[in-house]
Amino acid sequence: MNSRGWEKYFTERDRQHDAILGKREPKGFGGKPALLLIDIYYSVLGLKREPIFESMKTWPGSTGLEGWAAVDKTAELLAVARENGIPVIHVKGLHNGMKPWIHRKPQPSNLPEELRIKGQQIVDEVKPIEGELVIEKSAPSAFMGTPLLYHLTSLGVDTVICCGETTSGCVRATVVDGATHRFRMGVVEECVFDRTESSHWMNLYDMNQKYADVIFLETAKAYFERVGSKQKAAAAG
């Protein structure tokens, strides 16, 4: 197997442990996937494409150009999902005055109200279309306190493919909960993003070891296309 991006963050002890443990073989996916897009809105990207430290001057939570690169890859996968009849679910934060879950002291915001509201909107590159469910959440996990589990169950979904941000936060929390509910979980490496590189990569490694198959974009596209072909063949009789 080719080296993965997380390996450059290993300590020597980590390398020895990984060598003894061995490479984990992918668990694989089922025949009824859904695509889950997590927290892809303007406040974590900015309204224009800028390097992270420039973008943070206006949007302190920005993920910069790395985030936008992941959005572009997500848009590619989203198009394939739609072409092949894969259910698409969008998840975003609930902004209704409820006490936030985050534990650090919030930074004062100088954003005008108009920009603050814009920041809560899903970016145009992956915005929902008619028929796609949008779920609002008030916790890191997309499953906590939302109808996501019921929706997936009602569709007969057995596999959830995740994109979005942050890798170490809401993506990871959702993946852990999804695995707890016994879904086969997938994370598309090029389609998730974070604010810090080491946190991004080591959380990908950890999810791949325990909770999910971390796959490449081309693998995810091919999977959706295979499922779509089978569905079309079955419909044709």
Give the model confidence (pLDDT) of 134-153 as tens digits. 999 999 999 999 999 999 99
Q: What is the pLDDT of residues 67-90, one digit of tens each?
A: 999 999 999 999 999 999 999 999
Burial (CB count <10 Å: 0-12, 13-18, 19+), residue 101: middle
Q: Which amino acid is at 233?
A: A
Q: What angle do CA 9, 188, 82 make, to 5 degrees?
A: 165
Q: Are 173 and 36 in contact (CB under 8 A)?
A: no
Please indicate whether residue 170 is annotated as part of the active site: yes
**Distance between CA atoms of residues 177 and 183, nearest Å:** 9
List, in order, residues 6 or more apart from 142 with CB less than 8 Å away.
36, 38, 91, 135, 148, 170, 173, 174, 177
Q: What angle do CA 185, 189, 193 make, to 5 degrees?
A: 105
How far is residue 176's CA from residue 102's CA, in Å, rounded to a whole number? 18
pLDDT tens-digit readout, 183-193: 999 999 999 99
Q: Which of 162, 163, 170, 191 is catalytic?
A: 170
- Mean of the pLDDT values across residues 191-202? 97
Class of domain 32-95+110-236: alpha beta
Q: Is the pTM of this model over 0.85?
A: yes
H helices, E strands: number in the chain: 8, 6
Q: Token pair 């589990």 is at which residue?
A: 149
Each residue's pLDDT tens digit, 42-62: 999 999 999 999 999 999 999
Q: What is the number of residues in the chain?
A: 237
pLDDT of residue 1 exceeding 80, the answer is: no
